[in-house]
């Protein structure tokens, strides 16, 4: 089975070897590429990057030393992009609530139906792809905005907020003509056709880009 | 004769003088005992009345006739001045009413009045078996009535003197009634062996030709030369007595008149009063009236004299009776109490046995309950794994990606997971089953090993259990109830695990040491938990004492029971080094050198 580095990968972290192997076997049956880790530590040591086509983690809640929830917290701290599907042998509501609050995709109790598990995997992988796309477009926007000079950047931000040339000139203590020249350059460099488009670009680059006047 | 006439003359003169001096003339009331009815008596005593009347012209002689009770009653109420009655009755009236005899009847002319009355006991001449009065023992003897002086009492006295007391059944009296001829009739009919006649009656009847002379003979004749034969002593005859209120003058006048009667028949033959002491003695001896009080006296006197002895004897008897009764009651009560106690003891033992089995069962269930979470996890694991493989295979068939390699892998995993689930269930089932104690020989090390495996199988992430088996090769077998010992070990392991969990050291290893302790095997389980204060250690084996937030406090108390049921001892101690507790218990080594096949 040949696979490219960009293909999605599912990482299974569970200390119970037979069960872990059965999950791998199931995932492979559904056509996924899967990797196994016998503990949280071994996954953290490997810290595989999220492939371009996405992927997800399958974590057992109860594991010796570092539990599934603990691993989730540590990954969040590391800004990990991996979506997480939890699996548990116990119907522990508190654990489930905590896991979902912390951004888990799903929380499955053993024994579970194969399609429920595979659906969860599908959703998690899609989520990873969406996140991947958003991140790619954000970096593109940041790249475009980086081409602007500091003054152009200021003019662009005020334009995105819907201010007129006259208002911008008054605010920046420059003439209307000067504002007009900057505006021409901003539109050219970013390729934005309107002030609204410019606003979307700025927000894509930085969701907080328009805050704090 | 001369003297007698002179005496009478003087007496009459004296009396006449006295009478005239008294000047009182009146009635002379004479009561007569009528044996055979008033008419017979009147006929018999008519001459006397007439004779006295003739000699006492200034008084009116009035004769009245009574039976014994009537005569006594009339005398008592003062209706009579004089009485005429038989010697026995006279003695009664003399004693009871103060009657004073003034003359005694002379029955047989020529005989003195001292010996006028007596009885003859007669038997038919053919009776050769009865020769004397002594031969009457056990015989029937015909008499008139019980209070007849010469018809019964005289003979009774004589028989009693000879040691044949009718009252003790020596002879059987048959009272034929009056007149005395009925005695003869009874004898004639053969209803009695002997009969009682007053003295001279037999001779009189023979003289009159009313009885053949040789028909009867008299037993034990006291005076064979006398004209009349008698079997009893002779007693004075009938009595003429004065009532106590009768004036002396009247008594004297009457006596004079009596003595001056001509004696042509019995009714007119009176002599000087006889000595009635023999009568008194006889009646006293018989203890009949007037000496009937002697019967009471005799009994009463004995009681009065001997009552302390009698009372003592009675008290002793009563005490003995009470004692016997008390002992009997006590024996019965003790027997009842004993059997009740035995029954109670058996009940208690049975209930204790049942209680222990229940507790063991409870403890098993309690452990099961505490472990159920991990147990569910344990069973979920193989089930989920098996499910995954099965669905994966199905999925691969659909997608056409099923390879032989994949099938082999899945099948192997499914089989091993199924076996794992089965092992868990088997261990639990054996453990949870309630059963009676059953001893068998088994290798202590093997038993500990199996139990540890069971313990680890029940926990999701069981800690390491290090077994240090120091038992020598020839002392490895213990005689125990395997499941009970497993239960003790499981409890101790679970406690050790909980102790580690309490300080967050779930993975801490537990130590087990097996060693020989004299004729026993000692098994010690040591944990590295927080340990216990001395006070808590002392209470550790008490039922319902627990240091765990959700513990029942039964585990160790049941363990102690089980170990003690194996004649062993369960102890807790502080390890010599490090923290934690060391529980150790002993088990009896099997005496024979058995080798457990299992």
| Chain B residues lying within 8 Å of A22, measured CB to CB | 384-386, 388-389, 392, 413
Q: What is the residue-wise DSSP string for A20-85? A: HHHHHHHHHHTT-EEEEESSHHHHHHH-PPPPTT-EEEEEES--SSS-HHHHHHHHHHTT----EE
pLDDT computed for residue B4 by the predictor:
52
Return the pLDDT at B46. 87
pLDDT, one tens digit per residue, over A51-106 is: 888 899 999 988 888 889 899 999 999 888 899 999 987 767 788 888 888 888 99
Q: Could you tell me the two tokens for B596? A: 């457990």
Nearest CA in chain B to A90: B377
Q: By C-alpha distance, which of B325, B276, B251 is closest to B92?
A: B276
Tokens at residue B215, please? 């028909």
Q: Concatenated DSSP letters for B232-276?
A: S--B---EEEE-TTS-HHHHHHHHHHHHTS--SSGGG-EESPPP-
Spatial separation of the C-alpha atoms in residues B411 and B423, rounded to whole Å: 18
A1 has pLDDT over 50 = no
Residue in A10, A19, A117 to test binding to B, most B beta-carbons within 10 Å? A19
Q: Read off the pLDDT of residues B560-577 as tens digits, 9 standing for 90 and up.
A: 888 888 888 888 888 888
Residue B93 to residue B72: CA distance in whole angstroms: 7
Question: Closest-CA residue in chain B for A18?
Answer: B385
Q: How far is CA A112 from CA A23, A32, A89, in A?
A: 11, 18, 10
Count the residues in chain A: 213
Q: How far apart are CA B83 and CA B74, in angstroms?
A: 10
Asked whether the beta carbons of B97 and B75 are under 8 A apart, the reply is yes
**Domains (ranges, CATH) in chain A?**
9-137 (3.40.50.2300), 147-205 (1.10.10.10)
Distances from the Cα of B407 to the Cαs of A22, B396, B400, B404, in angstroms? 12, 10, 13, 5
Angle at B169 between CA B168 and CA B171, to 5 degrees: 125
Cβ separation B395–A29 shorter than 8 A: yes
Contact B176/B182 with Cβ under 8 angstroms? yes
DSSP letters, A126-157, are HHHHHHHHHHHHHHHHHHHHHTS-HHHHHHHH
Q: Hey, are the CB atoms on B376 and A111 less than 8 Å from each other?
A: no
Q: Which of B373, B383, B388 sits opposite A23 (nearest CB)?
A: B388
pLDDT score of B428: 65
Q: Does A66 reach chain B within 8 Å, measured CB to CB?
A: no
**Is A25 close to B373, i.e. CB distance below 8 A?**
no
Dump pLDDT digits (tens) for B92-130. Answer: 888 888 888 888 887 664 555 556 788 999 999 888 888
Q: Are B94 and B240 in contact (CB under 8 A)?
A: no
CA dist B240 and B251 (Å) reads: 10
ipTM: 0.73
Residues of chain B with pLDDT under 50: 1-3, 5, 9, 12-24, 109, 593-598
In the sheet with B582-588, reading across from the earlier edge strand, the strands are: B465-469, B510-517, B520-526, B582-588, B570-573
Radius of gyration of chain B (CA): 62
The pLDDT, as a whole number, for residue B594 is 44
Taking the alpha carbons at both ends of chain B, their separation in whole angstroms is: 149
Quick one: pLDDT at residue A44? Answer: 92
Looking up tokens 């018999």, which residue turns up? B44
- Our CA-based measurement puts residue B386 at a distance from the nearest CA of chain A, in whole angstroms, of 8
- Is residue A22 within 8 Å of B388, Cβ to Cβ? yes
A125 pLDDT above the threshold of 90: yes
Residue the block writes with tokens 């053949």: B212
Q: Is A108 on the interface with B (CB under 8 A)?
A: no
Give the model's pLDDT for residue A212: 57
Contacts of A28 in chain B (CB under 8 A): 392
Cα nearest neighbour of A20 on chain B: B385
Residues of B in contact with A90 (CB under 8 A): 373, 376-377
Angle at B473 between CA B469 and CA B478, to 5 degrees: 75
**Of B212, B186, B208, the residue nearest B197 (C-alpha):** B186
Q: Kindly state the helix (H) or strand (E) to which residue B55 belongs, with its residue range.
A: helix B38-55
Token reading at A124: 């998690």
Give the predicted TM-score (pTM) of the model.
Answer: 0.39
Which pair of tokens denotes residue A5? Answer: 């580095």
Q: Where are the beta strands (DSSP E) in B125-198?
A: 140-143, 172-175, 194-198
Cα(B324)–Cα(B302) distance, integer angstroms? 29
Cβ separation of B381 and A90 shorter than 8 Å? Answer: no
Tell me: pLDDT of A21 over 90: yes
């Amino acid at each position: 089975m040949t696979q490219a580095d960009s293909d999605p990968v599912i990482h299974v972290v569970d200390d119970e070897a037979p069960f872990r192997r059965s999950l791998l076997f199931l995932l492979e049956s559904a056509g996924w590429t899967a990797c196994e880790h016998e503990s949280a530590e071994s996954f953290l040591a490997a810290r595989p990057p999220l492939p371009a086509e996405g992927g997800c983690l399958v974590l057992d809640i109860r594991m010796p030393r570092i539990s599934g929830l603990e691993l989730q917290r540590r990954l969040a701290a590391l800004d990990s992009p991996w979506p997480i599907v939890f699996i548990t042998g116990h119907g522990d509501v508190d654990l489930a609530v905590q896991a979902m609050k912390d951004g888990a995709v799903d929380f499955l109790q053993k024994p579970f139906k194969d399609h429920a598990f595979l659906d969860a995997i599908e959703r998690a992988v899609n989520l990873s792809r969406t996140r991947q796309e958003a991140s790619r477009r954000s970096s593109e926007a940041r790249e475009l905005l980086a081409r602007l000079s500091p003054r152009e950047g200021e003019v662009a931000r005020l334009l995105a907020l819907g201010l007129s040339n006259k208002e911008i000139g008054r605010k920046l203590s420059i003439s209307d003509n000067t504002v007009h020249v900057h505006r021409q350059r901003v539109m050219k460099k970013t390729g934005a056709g309107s002030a609204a488009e410019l606003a979307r670009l700025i927000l894509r680059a930085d969701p907080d880009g328009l805050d704090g006047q | 004769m001369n003297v007698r006439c002179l005496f009478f003359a003087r007496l009459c003169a004296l009396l006449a003088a006295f009478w005239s001096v008294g000047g009182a003339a009146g009635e002379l009331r004479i009561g007569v005992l009528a044996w055979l009815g008033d008419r017979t008596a009147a006929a018999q005593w008519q001459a006397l009345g007439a004779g006295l009347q003739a000699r006492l012209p200034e008084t009116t002689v009035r004769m009245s006739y009574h039976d014994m009770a009537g005569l006594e009653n009339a005398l008592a109420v003062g209706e009579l001045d004089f009485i005429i009655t038989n010697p026995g009755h006279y003695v009664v009236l003399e004693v009871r009413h103060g009657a004073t005899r003034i003359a005694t009847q002379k029955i047989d002319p020529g005989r003195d009045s001292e010996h006028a009355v007596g009885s003859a006991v007669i038997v038919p001449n053919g009776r050769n078996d009865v020769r004397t009065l002594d031969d009457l023992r056990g015989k029937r003897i015909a008499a008139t009535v019980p209070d007849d002086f010469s018809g019964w009492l005289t003979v009774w006295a004589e028989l009693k003197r000879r040691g044949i007391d009718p009252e003790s059944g020596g002879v059987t009296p048959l009272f034929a009634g009056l007149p005395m001829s009925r005695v003869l009739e009874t004898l004639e009919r053969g209803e009695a062996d002997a009969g009682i006649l007053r003295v001279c009656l037999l001779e009189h009847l023979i003289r009159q030709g009313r009885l053949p002379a040789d028909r009867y003979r008299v037993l034990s004749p006291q005076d064979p030369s006398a004209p009349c034969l008698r079997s009893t002593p002779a007693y004075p005859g009938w009595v003429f007595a004065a009532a106590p209120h009768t004036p002396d003058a009247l008594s004297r006048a009457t006596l004079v008149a009596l003595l001056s009667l001509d004696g042509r028949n019995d009714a007119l033959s009176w002599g000087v009063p006889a000595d009635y002491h023999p009568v008194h003695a006889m009646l006293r001896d018989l203890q009949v009236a007037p000496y009937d009080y002697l019967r009471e006296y005799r009994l009463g006197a004995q009681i009065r004299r001997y009552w302390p002895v009698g009372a003592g004897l009675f008290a002793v008897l009563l005490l003995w009776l009470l004692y016997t009764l008390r002992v009997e009651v006590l024996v019965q009560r003790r027997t009842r109490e004993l059997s009740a106690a035995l029954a109670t003891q058996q009940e208690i033992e049975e209930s204790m046995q049942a209680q222990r089995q229940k507790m063991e069962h409870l403890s098993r269930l309690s452990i099961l309950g505490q472990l159920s979470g991990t147990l569910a996890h344990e069973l979920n694991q193989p089930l989920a794994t098996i499910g995954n493989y099965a669905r994966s295979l199905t999925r691969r068939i659909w997608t056409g990606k099923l390879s032989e390699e994949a099938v082999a892998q899945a099948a192997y995993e499914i089989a091993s997971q199924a076996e794992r689930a089965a092992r868990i269930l088997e261990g639990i089932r054996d453990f949870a089953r309630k059963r009676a104690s059953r001893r068998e020989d088994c290798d202590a090390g093997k038993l500990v090993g199996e139990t540890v495996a069971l313990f680890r199988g029940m926990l999701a992430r069981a800690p390491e259990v290090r077994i240090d088996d120091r038992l020598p090769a020839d002392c490895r077998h213990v005689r125990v109830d395997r499941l009970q010992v497993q239960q003790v070990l499981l409890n101790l392991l679970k406690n050790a695990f909980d102790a580690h969990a309490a300080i967050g050291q779930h993975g801490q290893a537990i130590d087990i040491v097996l060693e020989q302790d004299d004729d026993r095997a000692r098994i010690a389980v040591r944990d590295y938990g927080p340990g216990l204060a001395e006070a808590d250690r002392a209470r550790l084996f008490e039922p319902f004492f627990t240091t765990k937030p959700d513990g029942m406090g039964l585990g160790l108390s049941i363990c102690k029971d089980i170990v003690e049921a194996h004649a062993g001892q369960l102890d807790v101690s502080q390890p010599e080094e490090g923290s934690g507790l060391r529980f150790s218990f002993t088990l009896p080594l099997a005496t024979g050198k058995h080798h457990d096949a299992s």
